[in-house]
Structure formats: C-alpha cells, structure tokens
C-alpha cells in the first residue's frame, strides 16, 4: 500500500508483488532511474516470510570499486591499511536470515560478478583477509536501469549470474506510462512536504495538474517528487 497509484500498470505490478513476495526466490527488478526500485524491494521484503529479519539495501554504484568486496563480505582486522580494529561485518553478514537488495547490479566488475556468483551458489563467503567460511541464509533482490539484453550480449553482465539473480523478473512501469497516477502522487507529496515543513497544504490548480500530466518525466517519480518539493 506504500506504492501510490491506481493505474492499470501499477495494479498489475502490485499483483505481481503480492504473488512473488511470499516465495523465497531471488527477484530481479528492472526499471528506469527514479521508478521506485528500492520501494518495490521494500514491499517484497515486508510481505515476505523474512519480514521480521533485516532488510539491507546496497547501491553498488555508490561504493568505490576498490572497497566493494570488503563492503559486501566484510574484513578481518589488519586485512588492509585502515581496516578497523576487530574487523567489520559486510552487507551479506548483516542480511543473514533477511533480504539483501543489490541496486545497480550492472555496475559490478567482472571479477566481483564472478565472486558474487560463487557466494550465491555456495551460500557462504569469506571475509577479506580470512580463510574461514561463513554460511549465510538470505534472499537476494537485485535491480538495474541498464538495457539487460544489451548488457548480456556485450558481456557486461554475466549470464550465469543473471540467471541466478533472476528467478523472476519484475518490471516497473515508467511514470509516462501511468500518467493517471500523477494527481495521486502530487497529492501525496504535497501532504508529505507540508507535514515536514509545517505548512498549510496548497491546492494545485487544474492548469498546474494538466501541465504536470503533460510532461514525460524522464526522471520518473524521483523527478516529480523534486519538482513538487521545489514548487
């Protein structure tokens, strides 16, 4: 219910979310930038059997390439210069028994894609600088905004990893395909910002709503949210 909208594409997406959530299969979420991939991942976790366990979101593109292995799998004390005393748990360890959401999975290097595939096949991993294997029980949700077919053909995304991640593919509709939802989203964001800033909620004119509905929204819901914030 946190996913706002009543258009046919959104109703179909919500129905798929309800179908997929209770199973424990890995789900690949495909959608344009700003289309709500993390919100969909949250919804899948909240309606799953793992809902009372951790939900750990990771934006791969926000993690420097030289740190991605230690961030995902953790490290032992002294593993490298600057390592914390006592070591550090990685995102896989944090998500044990729960859900790990890997956003922008297409940004992983080929070496890290190979490492991730191995971890998912064996359900275990080693911290950086340690030989001891750590077992893990997690559901992996992943997402990307890249052209999947092109990435697979060009080899930027390993097919064997993709098949492991994509037991099911959930495609999110862009905002331009669900324009009937724009007034609902506008009202929601106005209410949200008005509470946040202690303002009397403004009422948008019919002309304003018409202009907002006419726009193609290349940045999708994130762009709409920012526009309402600025207005």
pLDDT in tens, 210-228: 999 999 999 999 999 999 9
The more confidently predicted of residues 225 and 131 is: 225
Q: How many CB atoms lie within 10 A of CB 196?
A: 9
Query: What does the pLDDT read at residue 29?
Result: 95
Give yes or no for a contact between 34 and 219, defined as CB atoms under 8 angstroms apart: yes
pLDDT, mean of residues 48-56: 97
pLDDT digits (tens, 9 = 90+) for 173-213: 999 999 999 999 999 999 999 999 999 999 999 999 999 99
The more confidently predicted of residues 85 and 50 is: 50
Query: What does the pLDDT read at residue 81?
Result: 67
pLDDT, mean of residues 146-157: 86
pLDDT digits (tens, 9 = 90+) for 8-28: 999 999 999 999 999 899 999
Indicate whether 82 pLDDT > 70: no
φ, ψ at 141 (rounded to 5°): -110, 140
**Residues contacting residue 108 through CB under 8 Å, at least 6 positions apart:** 60, 68, 116
CA distances, 46 to each of 10, 43, 55, 67 (Å): 18, 5, 9, 29
Confidence of residue 2 (pLDDT cuts 50, 70, 90): confident
């Amino acid at each position: 219910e946190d996913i706002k909208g009543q258009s046919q594409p959104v109703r179909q997406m919500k129905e798929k979310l309800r179908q997929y959530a209770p199973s424990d299969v890995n789900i690949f979420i495909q959608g344009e930038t700003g289309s709500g991939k993390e919100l969909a991942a949250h919804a899948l976790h909240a309606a799953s059997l793992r809902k009372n366990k951790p939900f750990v979101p990771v934006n791969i593109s926000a993690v420097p390439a030289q740190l991605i292995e230690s961030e995902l799998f953790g490290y032992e004390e002294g593993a490298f210069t600057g390592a914390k005393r006592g070591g550090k748990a990685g995102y896989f360890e944090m998500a044990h028994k729960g859900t790990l959401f890997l956003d922008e999975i297409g940004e992983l290097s080929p070496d890290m894609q190979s490492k991730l595939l191995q971890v998912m096949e064996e359900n275990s991993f080693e911290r950086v600088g340690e030989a001891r294997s750590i077992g893990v029980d997690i559901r992996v949700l992943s997402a990307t905004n890249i052209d999947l077919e092109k990435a697979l053909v060009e080899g930027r995304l390993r097919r064997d990893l993709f098949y492991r991640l994509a037991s099911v593919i959930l495609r999110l509709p862009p905002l331009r395909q669900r324009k009937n939802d724009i007034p609902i989203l506008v009202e929601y964001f106005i209410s949200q910002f008005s509470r946040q800033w202690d303002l009397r909620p403004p009422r948008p004119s019919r002309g304003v709503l018409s202009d907002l509905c006419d726009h193609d929204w290349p940045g999708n819901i994130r762009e709409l949210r920012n526009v309402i914030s600025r207005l």
